[in-house]
Amino acid sequence: MTIRILTGITTTGTPHLGNYAGAIRPAIVASRDADVDSFYFLADYHALIKCDDPARIQRSRLEIAATWLACGLDTDKATFYRQSDIPEIPELTWLLTCVAAKGLLNRAHAYKASVDKNVENGEDPDAGVTMGLYSYPVLMAADILMFNAHKVPVGRDQIQHVEMARDIGQRFNHLFGAGRELFTLPEAVIEEEVATLPGLDGRKMSKSYDNTIPLFGSAKQLKDAIARIVTDSRAPGEPKDPDSSHLYTLYQAFSTPAQLAAFRAELLDGLAWGEAKQRLFQLLDNELGEARERYHALIERPADLEDILLAGAAKARKTATPFLNELREAVGLRSFRSNVQSADTGKKKAAKSARFVSFREDDGSFRFRLLAADGEQLLLSRTFADGKSSGLVTKRLQDGSVLDIRAEGTSYGLWLDGEVVGQGGEFADSEARDAAVQRLREALAPQE
């Protein structure tokens, strides 16, 4: 079974070495697994909640996109896109907002922390709280549920948001699923083994502590940053304690076992801290040098980055667009042509009847689906130039004429006037295909 993993990257800063070791590198490695379908996106809508500096957000989007690509993300394997390039996301956010309980959002950690701080300072509890901050968990739920992610790697501070996405998705399924699981309920993945790197002062590497090591600065900037790492006062020749040295911890995150063993032995033998820092610089420069060159080449060609991200968005929308149409259908935002009508009474068929769902593709063409009562897709049409042409075909399929259904390997096609107008999905074998053909015939059979 293929597992879908989804990760969002907030676009409010420049990636540093800690981001690379703790998130970027392991995510890219995971995306190469043949059994994993990876979705990575720039969470630029989320950035608007935290940052009101347009130049910073724009620059951060550019730098983060270039970083992931320079570090080896294969966009043929993974789906890499900007959140703001998927218009289905804000629409789904509204659908989910309409089922999300206010009490649930009241318990969100970020909102509660803001309220507590205001109360502590004697201010109005909601002073400075925007609806963006308050409803942030719903937007995150839309990011996850839109693509039916199975697993969402997060830090411990984000576990609650994944749990809230589960709650909201479950509520939506209950209200509108009609017995189906429209949304896959996601699982938060806490990656205990992912490195948390110390910064220059030994605390966790973080922009808020101003103790970071640049990821793709020049070699000189990298060397200068490493030179500022705080060490103890032991002189050259005195044995150093690797286990209490955050310089050693940094080396450990990027070295092979053999390199680490040799470095440890040198520290115990009295290697000078200056020499140790030179060893770390050389290790990091070897690891990052080629990626640094790719990064700067990408930064200088923003139009190429734009093309890559738009291609990723188009790829993502092949999933998002039809799924949102299905969700719109589920909540009642349906085309007036979507109900199968009885020819002689004009009344809706019984609940067991199938229904047609029309939708429009990105290029302006029209298609329709034939869905069974349980939501199973029985037929997906070819594209039509306009809605009228699509509607005429659905009308003909309901007029009781003999159906021309032809097996095509483990799938089937439905033909009209010498051309295929729709196809079924791929089935495990011919027996499953034939059973689906029978369901299709029953769905389109005239009602008594």
For 70-109, the three-class secondary structure string (H helix, E strand, C coil) is: HCCCCCCCCEEEEHHHCCHHHHHHHHHHCCCCHHHHHCCH
DSSP string, 192-251: TTS---B-TTSSBP-GGGT---BSSS-HHHHHHHHHT-----PPTTS---GGG-HHHHHH
Tell me: is residue 208 an annotated ligand-binding position: yes
Tell me: is residue 156 an annotated ligand-binding position: yes
Tell me: is residue 18 an annotated ligand-binding position: yes
Cβ–Cβ < 8 Å for 312, 319: no
Range list of H helices, 121-218 = 131-134, 136-146, 159-176
Cβ–Cβ < 8 Å for 357, 371: yes
Query: Which 3 state secondary structure label does DSSP give 360?
Result: strand
Cβ–Cβ < 8 Å for 210, 22: no
CB atoms within 10 A of CB 98: 11
Tell me: is residue 155 an annotated ligand-binding position: yes
Cβ–Cβ < 8 Å for 294, 69: yes
DSSP one-letter code for 332 = T
DSSP lists the bridge partners of residue 443 as none
Tell me: is residue 197 an annotated ligand-binding position: yes
DSSP string, 33-82: -TTEEEEEEEEHHHHHHH---HHHHHHHHHHHHHHHHHTT--TTTSEEEE
Tell me: is residue 143 an annotated ligand-binding position: yes
DSSP string, 404-443: EEEEETTEEEEEETTEEEEE----SSHHHHHHHHHHHHHH
Angle at 344 between CA 338 and CA 346, to 5 degrees: 40
Tell me: is residue 84 an annotated ligand-binding position: no
Closest CA to 66 of 105, 127, 20: 20
Tell me: is residue 12 an annotated ligand-binding position: yes
Tell me: is residue 206 an annotated ligand-binding position: yes
Tell me: is residue 128 an annotated ligand-binding position: no
Tell me: is residue 92 an annotated ligand-binding position: no
Tell me: is residue 140 an annotated ligand-binding position: no
Cβ–Cβ < 8 Å for 236, 272: yes
DSSP one-letter code for 375 = S
Which residues belong to the annotated binding site for ATP?
10-12, 18-19, 155-157, 197, 204-208
Which residues belong to the annotated binding site for L-tryptophan?
143
Which residues belong to the annotated binding site?
10-12, 18-19, 143, 155-157, 197, 204-208
